[in-house]
Structure 1
Amino acid sequence: VVCLRLGRTYDPSCMQLDEVLVASSAEAQQAIALCTVDVDQVPDIVATLGIRSPTALVFFYRSQLMSVTTGGQVSNHVFWPVQTKAEFLDLASAVHRGAKEGRKVVNSPKEVTLTAGYS
């Protein structure tokens, strides 16, 4: 599974997520390859994926985009704040398990209430 962090390195939410990813990288490396992507460098990808939030995580498995369900809604990217190492590892584990089982949509281990402005 490949996890792309899409964002701008100077954005506070992106910096917070990067800290979580760095803290998680050693434990996550068995299941997830982590990559950071500057959204200003790949605007076509951002548009194709429909990403409007300042920071997002996108998961791929065998070149297939993975989606995550959050309280009934399905999204092809994680846009809510992943604030702790444990939270990211739970999410990465859920995506990895789902991918290995052949699913393209996995359930988020955390229930997320979608707020206005994020989709």
Structure 2
Amino acid sequence: GGMLTNLEGQLKQQNAADKLDQVLAEIPRVREDLGFIPLVTPTSQIVGTQAVLNVLTGERYKTIAKETAGILKGEYGHTPVPVNAALQARVLEGGAPVTCRPADLLKPELAELEADV
């Protein structure tokens, strides 16, 4: 499927195709840390990319992808179970997670755009 093909491609680009089994073993751990988020686009790619980063850097979450941080911050909505609290605190840097519908935080733009027309 798409996720596996992307993982293979990412690993080949890094000359690390031999690490596929390690990445496949890391995926369920990342998914658990991210609140058992469903593996559907785009979150399947986010989980897969973070698993690749964890394996290639040799340290879990040494590098946290921007999109992974977004899930931990609540920018992708609620997860089925709470995300890993330590990782969430790390990316929030003292801030608060998004607890409402993320789009509700956007300022209205229609009136301004209509005025520009």
Q: TM-score, normalised by structure 2?
A: 0.35
- The structure with the largest strand share of the pair is 1
With a CA cutoff of 8 Å and minimum separation of 6, indicate the structure with the bigger relative contact order: 1
Q: Radius of gyration: which is bigger?
A: 2
Q: TM-score, normalised by structure 1?
A: 0.34
- The structure with the largest helix share of the pair is 2
